[in-house]
Amino acid sequence: MAFRYHRRNAMERGIEFLFTLEEWWNWWQTDDRWQRRGRGTDKLVMARFKDQGPYSIGNTYCTTGRQNVIDYGSDKRSADMLGWWNARRDEQEPSNTKRMSVTVTDPQLVWLRREAKKLGITVAGLIRRIIDQNRIEQR
């Protein structure tokens, strides 16, 4: 499940994901990374060198979420922003809620990718923010 989520998230962000399930699992088993991985600022993440290129064996390293944001955040946003986003994600509705389907054109997707990268979130996360904001404005 985590492998599929990671691969799908990379695809949504327009990033190639070249790991096989076995390679990905072995990468996380190194130095007991799997037990220390997660969404918190001090949890371990799989990062790409210079935040460029594919997720692949030769282009990834292990670091904390905080350090990854500090090193390669597109606008050098603070690690506090990452902490805020993780807290917000944890407050989201349970996983048994309905998922929305959104269709976008190529120019819209380019804009969404650029804005999501500025904020350090996925395109899906940005769409959720836009939808949430529209719900608030409609009240």
The per-residue pLDDT for range 75-119, each reduced to its tens digit, is: 444 444 445 555 555 555 455 555 455 555 667 777 778 888 888
Per-residue pLDDT band at 59 (split at 50, 70, 90): very high
Which pTM does this prediction carry?
Answer: 0.53
For residue 90, tell me if it sits in a domain.
yes
pLDDT of residue 77: 43
For residue 21, tell me if it sits in a domain.
yes
Domain that holds residue 123: 2-134
Tokens read off for 81: 């922003």
Q: How many domains does the chain have?
A: 1
CA distance 15 to 45: 16
For residue 139, tell me if it sits in a domain.
no
Each residue's pLDDT tens digit, 16-56: 999 999 999 999 999 989 999 988 788 999 999 888 899 99
24-37 as b/e: b if 16+ CB within 10 A: beebbeeeeeeeeb
For residue 92, tell me if it sits in a domain.
yes
For residue 6, tell me if it sits in a domain.
yes
Of residues 10 and 137, more confidence is placed in: 10
Identify the CA nearest to 51 among candidates 30, 77, 84, 80: 77
CA distance 24 to 3: 7
